[in-house]
Chain A
Amino acid sequence: MTVLTSLAAAAPRRPSRFARFRRRALATPSFMAGAGILAAILALALLAPVISPHDPYAQDLARRLIPPIWQDKGSWDHLLGTDKLGRDYLSRLIWGGRISLLIGVSTVVISGTIGTALGVVAGFFGGRVDAVISYVITTRLALPVVLVALAAAALVGGSLAMVILVLGLLLWDRFAVVARTATLQVARADYVAAARAIGCSTRRIVFSEVLPNILNPLIVVATLEMAHAILLEAALSFLGLGVQPPLPSWGLMISEGKQYMFFSPWVITVPGTVLVILVLAINLLGDGLRDVTAPEQRN
């Protein structure tokens, strides 16, 4: 008895999962940088009504194409200048952040659900089911994403909801591939065999044994696909078949600025730089998350 209690007391207390996560996260610079920038952009986007200096839709044709503050003719009233219709660029950028984030998150919710469901079913049941789903994935990969998304958007009419739906229905391939591979590994684990032995239903095994154990790689995929979706939305809007004016999508701002870029390059460098920073932050967060949750895969 005394031996046991002293042994128990001597054993170091295992830190909680969250404490371990926090310790590793704090020691991973890319994770901290990504999370920090992303949190800042998120805060700006959420606080848009409070902090944006002007109405993002208010036109003032007398104040068109004012350059940003660091240039000669800059104005303190419009820190990042105005666009071809005299709308305040900074306000449009801040409101545009909402669109990019909304697109990224909503697309990943749709594509993540589809891809994970397909991947887990394929990996868990194997055999013919796996063959059919793998075939579906191969077919999806053969479709040129940009072209199909453009064609679909043109037919139904470009809009925010449309872009989210089209991208969500197209970008599930990586989720499916990763979920399938991870499930194949997990399904062979002893704890799944144990769960089966004590009579757990398939549903219960999938939801409480398989899914929690394949979550980490899927979260990393989610960050990558979020970045992918944001870039694709910008490209679709740039081509005029994504988010429609007057919404302040960053891709659309670049598209609208294109004809002025020879004399006022900042009309495309400013929204482009913000887009790069957002996608970079998400990618850093994803890389960092992989290092934090699966340090053995670092290379």
Chain B
Amino acid sequence: MLAFTIRRLVISFCVALTVSVVAFFLLHLSGDLAQAIGGAEATPEQIQQIRVQFGLDRPLVEQYLVWLWDAVRFDFGRSFYFRDSVVSLVAQRLPITLALGGLSLALSLIIAVPLGVLAAVKQGGWIDRAALLFCVLGQAIPTFWLGLTLIIVFSVTLRWLPVSGNASWAHFVLPSVALGWYAIPAVMRLTRNGMLDVLASDYIRTARAKGLRMPAVLFKHALRNAVIPVVALAAVQFGFMLGGSIVIEAVFSMDGVGQLAWQAIARKDFPVVQAIVLILALLYILLTLLADLLNALLDPRIRIA
């Protein structure tokens, strides 16, 4: 387990470093940042001034190393637009995005896991077929459109929930449904297939043969093993949700990191964009690392492979 942990840690660290290189050079090589900050009307002298002011006249590698060294110490520079430190801008908004992601994940798991179990137990039955149909349909609905439709139905027509913002718990309901929706098919399919594999195994037959009731077999023996891959998937999906929250936060005007990223992109506020790309990537790397370690802990076979 220790060797496995160390190996995974080293790989994660390298991936994080590579991602920081990509995040930095992607933005610096795809256009002239000084021109982007100055706007179309800026004179060449003003552009030159911006270059010097933001250190954009230094060699790229030097700029990267300076940025990385600061980033390691949680200093992502100042926002061009807000004139405020990027860290505090992100820190103010991160709780909203994390809450949204967490609620979405919880919602999709609460729906998808039981549905997957039911579908597997009655394989080929109407629940199974309805669930699979729901999966195909679910994946075809664009998140942002689902969000808008939910607003029309539940906020405008029924007036049950607020249209936009993030002032209270009620504001998080519709966004979480819209964001969690997309993860349901994947989680349900994996739970169902895991259950099908486990239910066909010898130890389940033994458990049933010794006279255990079906619920006991399902929850004590089957689900525990079937759910192992779902843990890893849930971590990955949480990462996707943090990335996908940019669309949902725009739809529901929630003041989270996604909204900040969108505004920063539109304003060419690159210190903010760079920082958010890196932070989201790091969160994803951390989540997959934890999922892998948890998986290895639960299933010793993984450690050896």
Contact = CB atoms under 8 A, between A and B. Distances in A.
Interface of A: 30, 135, 138-139, 141-148, 150-152, 154-156, 227, 231, 234-235, 238-241, 251, 254, 258, 261-262, 265, 268-269, 272, 275-277, 279-280, 283-284, 287, 299
A269 B149 contact: yes
28 contacts: A139-B15, A142-B19, A142-B285, A145-B243, A147-B261, A147-B277, A148-B277, A150-B265, A151-B265, A152-B26, A154-B265, A155-B30, A156-B31, A238-B144, A238-B247, A239-B247, A239-B250, A241-B266, A261-B148, A269-B149, A272-B148, A272-B149, A275-B145, A276-B137, A276-B145, A280-B136, A283-B139, A299-B193
A276 B142 contact: yes
Nearest to B18: A139
Nearest to B143: A235
Interface in B124-159: 136-137, 139-145, 148-149, 151-152, 156
A150 B262 contact: yes
B140 A280 contact: yes
B148 A258 contact: yes
B243 A146 contact: yes
Contacts of A287: 136
A279 B137 CA distance: 9
B113 interface: no
A147 B142 contact: no
Interface in B174-218: 193, 196
Given A155-B36, A240-B266, A150 B246 contact: yes
A39 to B, nearest CB: 17
Query: Which one of A138, A234, A240, A261 has the highest number of Cβ atoms from chain B below 10 Å of its Cβ?
Result: A138
A256 to B, nearest CB: 12
Interface in B201-254: 239, 242-244, 246-247, 250
Question: Which 8 A-B residue pairings sit nearest by Cβ, starting from the closest?
Answer: A144-B243, A280-B140, A279-B140, A272-B145, A155-B31, A155-B30, A144-B280, A154-B265
Interface in B23-62: 23, 26-27, 30-31, 36
Contact of B26 (A142, A151, A280, A284): A151
B284 A144 contact: yes
User: What is the interface of chain A mostly: helix, strand, loop, or mixed?
Assistant: helix
User: What is the interface of chain B mostly: helix, strand, loop, or mixed?
Assistant: helix
Query: Which one of A143, A227, A251 has the highest number of Cβ atoms from chain B below 10 Å of its Cβ?
Result: A143
Interface residues of B, number: 50
A138 B11 contact: yes
Interface in B249-295: 250, 261-262, 265-266, 268, 273, 276-277, 280-281, 284-285, 288
Query: Which one of A147, A240, A276, A284 has the highest number of Cβ atoms from chain B below 10 Å of its Cβ?
Result: A147
Contacts of A235: 142-144, 247
Contact of A143 (B22, B151, B288): B22
B14 interface: yes
Given A145-B243, A299-B193, A135 B145 contact: no
Contacts of A277: 140
A235 B144 CA distance: 7
A147 B18 CA distance: 17
B76 to A, nearest CB: 15
A147 B246 contact: yes
Contacts of A143: 19, 22-23, 277, 281
Given A227-B139, A262-B156, A135 B11 contact: yes
A265 B64 CA distance: 48
A134 to B, nearest CB: 10
A147 B276 contact: yes
A254 B152 contact: no
B246 A283 contact: no
A284 B145 CA distance: 20
A283 B133 CA distance: 11
Contact of B281 (A135, A142, A261): A142
Given A139-B19, A142-B19, A261-B148, A148 B247 contact: no
Contacts of B144: 234-235, 238, 254
A273 to B, nearest CB: 9
